[in-house]
Structure 1
Amino acid sequence: MNLLLADDETLMLQILKAYFVKDGFNVLLAQDGEEAIDLFYTHKVDLAILDWMMPKRSGIEVCQEMKKTSRTKVLLLTAKGDPDDEFLALQSGADDYLRKPFDPRILRLRAQKLLNLTAKSVIGDLTVDMEAQKIYRGGKDIQATNKEFELMRYLVVNKGQIVTRKMLLDQVWGFDYFGEERTVDTHIRRLREKIGEHWIRTHRGMGYCLEDSHE
């Protein structure tokens, strides 16, 4: 999934990017309103997290522009604390509103809820319970290991998109992992044995993709 972060504070952008990359998102960064709109029109954006007070165009203006032509979820960030400001933010079309300063963990939860990623994802006879960290096949717990669940979670978040072995290693094993990329192949093979061979497709020379043939 593509997540757009727009804020004129460089440090804030980098901190939030680290959190969301860890969650499996492809993160797009913008430091002003016009850059945010340019990224919106050149990428499929699933969620935009916008600072209200940005150079060139405000978060409110960017939100209104996005909502004219899409159903992209928008969460506004602001240091403003007046109830009228919250009303204005939501009236502009924003799906949620969070005051600064905030705990990044709260922002992550808000983002996940907007995208229904805290709920159960159902794909055919599979159910991936994000909160319980379990995978069910035909209603039966497949007893996925932690690595198998994290692989599946990352594939679900990026469903329909090819993810490389390097991306999976970074997100599931960590950026400091220096082992063989073939470790991913071994875990994917074991995961396939549990969920069914047809869900995870191999794209030779590229990576893996979670695909639902019924869609």
Structure 2
Amino acid sequence: MNVLLADDEPLMLQILRTYFSKEGFGTLLAQDGEEALELFYNHKVDLAVLDWMMPKKSGVEVCKEIKQYSQTKVLLLTAKGEQEDEFVALKSGADDYVRKPFDPRILLIRARKLLQLTSKVRIGDLTVDLEGHKIYRSGQDVQATNKEFQMMKFLLANQGQIVTRKMLLDHAWGFDYFGEERTVDTHIRRLREKIGEHRIKTYRGLGYCLEHADE
């Protein structure tokens, strides 16, 4: 799933990007309203997290345009604290409204609720416990390592879509890791042994995909 993050404060953008990326979301970053709309029109966006006060177009203006053309969920961030401001935000079509400063973990919970994502995801005989950081197969803990779990979470968030080795590397090892992308292949092989060879499909020269079907 892709989250559009729009805020004119670079530090805030990076903080939000780090938290959402760790949860397996793809992130699109914008520093003003016009850039946010450009990304919205050129990418699949499942959730837009918009700062109210942005250059060129405000978060409220961006929200109205997004809602005019799609069913994309929108969460507005603002330093404003008046009840009238909350009314304006929700009237613009926003699905939720969070005041700054906020705990990014709370923001993630709000985001997951908007996207109707549960803490436990089931795929056939597999159960992925996103809060407990465990993977179960037929009720048995497969003893996934942290890297295996992080890759599974990212594949799950992008189920049905091909993800590259670089994307998996960035998510499981961090953006500042400069190791070999082939490291991913070794961990994918071990993950397959634990959850079932058929579930993760290789697309040669492209990457991997967690298939929708469980046949």
TM-score, with length taken from structure 2: 0.88
- Aligned partner of 2:57 in structure 1 is 57
Deviation, structure 1 residue 164: 1.9
**Counterpart residue identity of residue 53, structure 1:** M
Deviating more after overlay: 167-176 vs 60-69: 167-176
Closer, same or farther: CA 127–83 of 1 in aligned 2, 3 Å? same
For residues 138-161 of structure 1, give each alpha carbon's deviation from its aligned partner in whole angstroms, at most 9, with x where no partner exists.
343323222221111111112122
Aligned pairs for 1:126-205 within 5 A: 126-205=126-205
Q: Secondary structure at the match of 2:198?
A: coil
Does residue 213 of the first structure (1) align with residue 213 of the second (2)?
A: yes
- Kept in 2: contact 1:117–1:130 (CA 8 A): no
- Aligned-partner residue type, residue 49 of structure 2: I
Instruction: Tell me if structure 2 keeps the 8 A contact 1:134–1:143.
Output: yes
Distance 1:146 1:12 in 2: 27
Whole-angstrom CA distance in 2 between matches of 1:130 and 1:165: 22
**AA in 2 matched with 1:154:** F
Report the aligned-residue RMSD. Answer: 2.2
Task: Assess, with a 3 A threshold, how the Cα gap between structure 1 residues 214 and 190 changes in structure 2: closer, same or farther.
Answer: closer
Question: Could you tell me whether the CA contact under 8 Å between 2:4 and 2:48 is conserved in 1?
Answer: yes
Q: Aligned to 1:198, what secondary structure does the other structure show?
A: helix
Matched to 1:9, the amino acid is E
Question: Which structure 2 segments of 5+ residues have no match?
Answer: none
Residues 175 and 64 of structure 1: is their aligned pair in 2 closer, same or farther, counting only changes over 3 Å? closer
- Rounded Cα–Cα distance in structure 1 between residues aligned with 2:10 and 2:183: 35
Q: SS of the counterpart of 1:161?
A: coil
The structural deviation recorded for 1:214 is: 6.1
Distance in 1, Cα, partners of 2:212 & 2:64: 33
Q: 1:12 to 1:175 in 2, by over 3 A?
A: closer
The answer to whether structure 1 residue 15 and structure 2 residue 15 are counterparts is yes
Question: What's the secondary structure of 1:8's corresponding residue?
Answer: coil
Verify the 8 A CA contact 1:47 1:74 in the aligned structure 2: yes
Does structure 2 conserve the Cα–Cα contact (< 8 Å) formed by 1:127 and 1:135?
yes
TM-aligned CA deviation for residue 118 of structure 1: 4.8
Q: CA deviation at 1:76?
A: 0.2
Structure 2 counterpart of 1:110: 110
* Deviation per residue, 1:139-195 (Å, 9 max, x gap): 433232222211111111121222222222222123444444333222211211221
CA distance in 1, matches of 2:139, 2:73: 31
User: Which range moved further: 104-113 or 162-171?
Assistant: 104-113
Query: CA 1:183 to 1:34, structure 2 compared with 1: closer, same or farther past 3 Å?
Result: closer
The answer for the alignment partner of 2:5 in structure 1 is 5
- Cα distance in 2 between the residues matched to 1:137 and 1:84: 50
Unmatched segments (≥5 aa) in structure 1: none
